[in-house]
Amino acid sequence: MTEMVYGTAPIRAGEPVLPRWWRTVDKWAMSCILMLFGVGLLLGLAASPPLAAKNGFDAFHYVERQVVFGTMALATMLVFSMMSPDLVRRLGVLGFFAAFAALALLPVFGTDFGKGAVRWYSLGFASVQPSEFLKPGFIVLAAWMMAAAQELNGPPGRAMSLGVALTVVLFLAFQPDFGQAALILFAWGVMYFVAGAPFLLLVGMAGAVVAGGTLAYEHSEHFARRIDGFLTPEIDPRTQLGYAVNAIQEGGFFGVGVGEGQVKWSLPDAHTDFIIAVAAEEYGLVLVAAIILLYAVIVIRSLFRLLRERDTFIRLAGTGLACTFAVQALINMGVAVKLLPAKGMTLPFVSYGGSSLIAGGITVGMLLALTRTRPQGEIGDILRLRGRA
């Protein structure tokens, strides 16, 4: 009866796990992720030696660490991509509560590494940023709540997910980490829109965000300083943003040449938050456009695959993961050219950072799992059958 109503896809009885995974996973998106990591290593070879020399390490100390963290991230991505949607949901919910507990304990056990915001746990050999792991868990939890709300006699999942989102944003604002807080609100808003939110309600929420930003500007020196720097028409050439903008201008279309860039000697975050400036200076607009294209392929292919899904949870969670992944990349690149205020956000799979890489592996692993081709999971089957009736 299910096949008569929803249609079906070919099922190969007794097919092993790995061949079935390879047949159903989005290989184009996965290839683009691997290429992004390769670009990150290439740029790390250029951007990290100056910082390594300054800190007394071997020239490629940070590149070697990025290889280790990246291998862990890619392995995590592959494991998650093989999971069923039910297992993704369970692990996502458990991961959210674990990351939220770690986030709540940051004021007691966390450190700011001299950057003015307590966002990390120092483990001696590495550091952990809970907010990076919180994002995919929150998206899965919120999608589960919203999907449950659409069931007959379901719970008030939309209101519950909003309460969770506001609680997380409040904790992030206290660090302060307004960039991650904005991503959480964005992810919730995208999923709420896909779930069928009234337009007027979304407009009201946008107004509430503006009011919250105004309040933060008036009471947070950290937030006000970044907004003032963004609104200032002139760029101080001695700031990180000034160095980055100048490097992008110097790079032109084809760049100044491999290893010839100078911005890496001036920017302390050249291998993390401003890695795109290194790419633009040494390789020019050509490499920057290629990086943007890789992100676009991952996100657009994922969204088109999700359009065929009839499972509400899969559509909501997949959309939230894909759009958040894209917006984080846009924010990072937008900051480097002063289209957005400084956020302190990494470029997924390109920037150096253990937490960022591994959390990114979890995010895209979940996305690949949710966008796999599966039997009886396409809205197109239903529409075709209705058209024949």
User: What is the full DSSP assignment across 178-191?
Assistant: HHHHHHHHHHHHHH
Contact 176, 220 (CB under 8 A): yes
**Who's near 154: CB < 8 A, 6+ residues apart?**
148
The pLDDT, as a whole number, for residue 4 is 36
Lowest-pLDDT range, 7-11, 20-24, 249-253? 7-11
Q: Looking at the domain assignment, is residue 8 inside a domain?
A: no
Q: Looking at the domain assignment, is residue 378 inside a domain?
A: no
**Structure-token pair, residue 56:** 């007394």
Ranked by mean pLDDT, the top range of 50-59, 104-113, 324-333 is 324-333
Lowest-pLDDT range, 30-39, 290-299, 348-357? 348-357
Other beta carbons within 10 angstroms of residue 339's beta carbon come to 11
* Digit-coded pLDDT (tens) for 118-139: 888 988 878 899 999 999 999 9
The CA distance from 266 to 243, in Å, is 7
Q: How many folded domains does the chain comprise? A: 1
**Domain hosting residue 117, numbered range:** 24-372
The pLDDT, as a whole number, for residue 2 is 38
* Torsion sign over Cα 69, 70, 75, 80: positive
- Check residues 271 and 222 and name the one with the higher pLDDT: 271
Ranked by mean pLDDT, the top range of 244-253, 257-266, 294-303 is 294-303
Q: Is the pLDDT of residue 22 over 70?
A: yes
Q: Looking at the domain assignment, is residue 236 inside a domain?
A: yes
**Binning pLDDT at 50, 70 and 90, where does residue 382 land?**
low
Question: Among 374, 380, 319, which Cα is nearest to 85's?
Answer: 374
Q: Looking at the domain assignment, is residue 18 inside a domain?
A: no
* Digit-coded pLDDT (tens) for 229-239: 777 777 766 67
Q: Looking at the domain assignment, is residue 256 inside a domain?
A: yes
Q: Is the pLDDT of residue 5 over 50?
A: no
pTM score, whole prediction: 0.88
Q: Looking at the domain assignment, is residue 269 inside a domain?
A: yes
The pLDDT, as a whole number, for residue 13 is 56
Q: Looking at the domain assignment, is residue 151 inside a domain?
A: yes
**Binning pLDDT at 50, 70 and 90, where does residue 9 land?**
very low
Q: Is the pLDDT of residue 152 over 90?
A: no
Q: How high is the mean pLDDT of the chain?
A: 86
The pLDDT, as a whole number, for residue 216 is 76
Q: Looking at the domain assignment, is residue 276 inside a domain?
A: yes
